[in-house]
Amino acid sequence: MSSRMSHRFISYIVVLTLFLGACASQSPEQSAVKSVAVMPVASQNNAPGVPLSLKEFFQFPVGPKGLAPSQKLLSLHTKRVRVSGFMVKEEEPSKGLFMLAPLPVSTSEKEDGPADDLPPATLYVHMPQRDAEKVLEYRPGLWELTGILSVGNQQEQNGRVSYTRLLLD
């Protein structure tokens, strides 16, 4: 194992330990879920959305060919879903787009480019058309979002390729 990989592994362990310790020490007021209000556009949007955990994106255990999308994820393509996660802290956020991850994480686009440690179950969240030109300021904490799920490779405006997207309405 190279020293860089060893250093990265140790960094993961330290971050995970700090994260779990912070979660355990939060008061109920601090750990409240932040919600983004989604205004109904059509009658179908009155539904609350099928709950989908970021942990349900891929089949477990991971097979010999690597990650494979779960049947639940594939069955919810183009359906209204409700997802909880943490907003990814980006150095250079994009207009109308942010990322949601299963744990708090930040990216260093200026230093690392797209070579970062985003989890595979990172969800790309597209703001509603009326907010497509706005850059959403980073907000820590757990978010709960509702929108239409889109599955499949797609080039994003920030230069990344996404596999899962949530289209807020």
Q: What is the pLDDT of residue 128?
A: 94
Q: Domain 33-167 maps to which CATH number in 1.10.150, 3.30.1460, 2.40.50, 3.40.50? A: 2.40.50
Percent of the chain with pLDDT over 70: 67
Contact 98, 90 (CB under 8 A): yes
Whether residue 47 is predicted with pLDDT greater than 70 in this model: the reply is: no
* Higher-pLDDT residue of 79, 44: 79
DSSP H or E run through 116: none
Contact 146, 104 (CB under 8 A): no
Average pLDDT, the chain: 78
Domain spans of the chain, in order of start: 1-31, 33-167
Whether residue 150 is predicted with pLDDT greater than 70 in this model: the reply is: yes
Q: What is the pLDDT of residue 43?
A: 33
- DSSP, residue by residue, 125-168: EEPPGGGTTPPPPP--SEEEEEEEEEEEEEE-TTS-EEEEEEE-
Instruction: Give residue 11's pLDDT band: very low, low, confident or very high (50, 70, 90).
Output: very low
Q: List the one residue out of 103, 104, 150, 91 whose CA is nearest residue 125.
A: 150
Q: What is the pLDDT of residue 156?
A: 93
Overall average pLDDT of the 119-127 stretch: 95
Overall average pLDDT of the 138-147 stretch: 95
Instruction: Give residue 107's pLDDT band: very low, low, confident or very high (50, 70, 90).
Output: confident
- What's at 135, amino acid-wise? V
* Higher-pLDDT residue of 33, 159: 159
Q: What is the pLDDT of residue 32?
A: 39
